[in-house]
Every structure is written in C-alpha cells, then in structure tokens.
Chain A
C-alpha cells in the first residue's frame, strides 16, 4: 500500500468518523483512534496526535456556529478552561511516558463510559437548591433563550465541577480525544447547568483544551503531518456534514446504534492492548 492509497482510505474513514461523531455528539476522536490503531496498524502515539488535531478543527468549526446562538457561556467556559488546560498538560506528559497498551486499556474504558453517557436521555440533574456563593463571586451565571423569554441559571457545586474538568482535560491530553462527554457531565450533572448551555460551552472549550496538549505533542514528535493531514481534513468535512444532517433529523436510534459500535471498538481496544498488539 503506497502513501496515496493509505491517505485515501484514511480520508474516507475519517470522514465517516467525523460524520458519526457529530450525529451522536461523541466527537470524531473516539472513532478515529480505534480506526488508526486497530484497522490501519498505526502506532498509538501517532494515532492520538492525528486525532487531537482533528478535535481542534471540529471544535473550532462547530463552536463558531454555537457561539452565535447565544447558548454557550464564555465566562463559565474560560473559568473551567483553567482546569482543562492544566489537566491537558498532565495528560500529554502522561501520554509521552505511558506504554501504548496502557493507553489502549484506558482508552477502551473511557469509550465505554462515553457511549453510555451519550446514549442516555439528556436530563439536567437536580443539584439541590443549595446556592454556591463561589458561583456568584466568579460570575458563573447567565441566561439563555428559552421558549418563553430568557431563562436564568447559576452554577452550583463549583469545586466539584472544576475538579471533574481537570480530569476531562487529562483524558483529552492522554487519549487525543475531545472528552466532550465528561465535560458535559461536569457542567450539567455536577454544576447543575442547563443541558444546552453545557453542550455548547463544552464544545467551545474542547478546542482550547486540545490546543494545550497539542503543543506538547508537536514538540515531542507525536504529530506526523502526512498521517494527520487526511485525518484532520476528513473528520472536519465529516463533522460539518453531520451537523447539517443533525439539524434536520434528531435521531435517538442512530445514537443507540453508534453507542453499540463504540462499545465493540472499546472491547477490541482493551483486548488488543492486553494481548500487547497495540
């Protein structure tokens, strides 16, 4: 297989990954890494490097659309990015030190959790009536356009959310994924923010988080330009397409099917890692 054929296959595969990632809200990274490592025999370190740049591309492209809708909260995003970027630094350093099969096993476990949380019904948790004075001090509040006028909200359990965001950043840097599922979890379940605010703000944060580990990937030589080129372009094109379709069809069934696929990939990743083939 020469570079032209290899590149073409990668482009088509990444296009599909980006498309499905956008439809399900899981992101392209969770499919791209298994595609590269399991199907194409690419070393884990190169795979997470290529995946991470595709994450930056899709996040920035999609965030541009979300920001204008008025759902994402720039202050909450910026405050939590302190946690995610620091976590991303830690994750990227871990990625350079851990064995590829260890990364593979962690990847598989995270995949299963992501599939579970993306398949669940979007429902904002009742974080209790407790008011976190920290949220007021840090201006972690806002309003969003609802059916009947503006709906106000304020964050709760700020330290817990901040801690979970550090974890989300670490996973992003370690695995080359956006870890959007965990970011949404931190905002809507831990901090009690509205679901729509959580998902759009999460998307907004993913690019900045990924950029924090991408710098380290680049200087450690994880980022192979010829490999990353079709992956980045494919995932970007696929996710733009997916977002267009998503507007027309809200599809719980596609989510379910995709979740099953992700779980199968996860088991495959863990199995191959344990066998030492990754």
Chain B
C-alpha cells in the first residue's frame, strides 16, 4: 500500500528531474547555436511563425538528432512541456493503485486535454 506522502515524494523527484533534463538540453542547444550563429542579427518584431520542423514533436526529434542547434533547444522545450504531462500520467497510476476511481477518471480527462493540445492542437 502506498501513501499520499510517498506519491508526493515521487512527484517531486519527477518534476525536478524533468526540469533539470529539459534545462540541460536547452543549454546545450543554446551554446551550439551561439557558437554557430552568434553573429546573426535577430529580428522578432514581425511575427512569421516557426518553420514546420520546429513545430511538430516527431520532426523536432528528427532534426535534433541531426545536430541542428535550434532543434536541440526545441527538443529541450518539448521535454519541459512533457514534464507536467508526465506528472499527470503518474497521478493516473497513483490513483489506480489507491483504487480511487473518481480521481482516475478526472485525471484521465486532464491527461486527454494535455495530449490533445500536444498532438492535435
């Protein structure tokens, strides 16, 4: 039998680990980007929108593994967005173990909204 405080401890580890991993990947990509393109003049005044390969999770992953710096940063951002999603996923499991059907259902709703945003938004 697991207790609420154990669940809370695991959630804390999960959140901290996720943020640390995401920040490390972002930092790595950032250093690589500045080393290659540090002298380019940035222009963010007019909104153009990011290219497709920096928008879709599968394309970000593919580009990042070719070593493209901005895609590596974006992979870190994706990991960051996935951290709360993983936390909610973990909560589903915790409520299943606690046999709390009502909260399993509620947590699944939250998870569905998050996945919808990430995959279909």
* Chain A: interface size category: 35 or more
Q: How many contacts between A and B, using CB within 8 angstroms?
A: 207
A165 contacts across to B, CB distance below 8 A: none
Q: Smallest distance from the beta carbon of A181 to chain B beta carbons, Å?
A: 20
Determine if B118 and A215 form an interchain contact, defined as CB atoms under 8 angstroms apart.
Answer: yes
How does the 8 Å CB contact mask read for B100-120 relative to A, with 1 for contact and 0 for none? Answer: 001100110110011011110
Q: Smallest distance from the beta carbon of B58 to chain A beta carbons, Å?
A: 12
B1-54 at interface with A (beta carbon < 8 Å) = 4-5, 7-9, 11-13, 15-16, 18-19, 22-23, 26-27, 29-30, 33-34, 37-42, 44-51, 54
CA distance A41 to B42 in the complex (A): 11
How does the 8 Å CB contact mask read for A37-75 relative to B, with 1 for contact and 0 for none? Answer: 000111111100000010011011101110110101011
Contact for B34 among A4, A46, A79, CB less than 8 A: A4
CA distance A65 to B11 in the complex (A): 10
In the complex, whether B77 has a CB less than 8 A from a CB of chain A is: yes
CA distance A46 to B50 in the complex (A): 10
Q: Which residues of B contact A (CB under 8 A)?
A: 4-5, 7-9, 11-13, 15-16, 18-19, 22-23, 26-27, 29-30, 33-34, 37-42, 44-51, 54-56, 70-71, 73-74, 77-78, 80-85, 87-88, 91, 102-103, 106-107, 109-110, 113-114, 116-119, 121
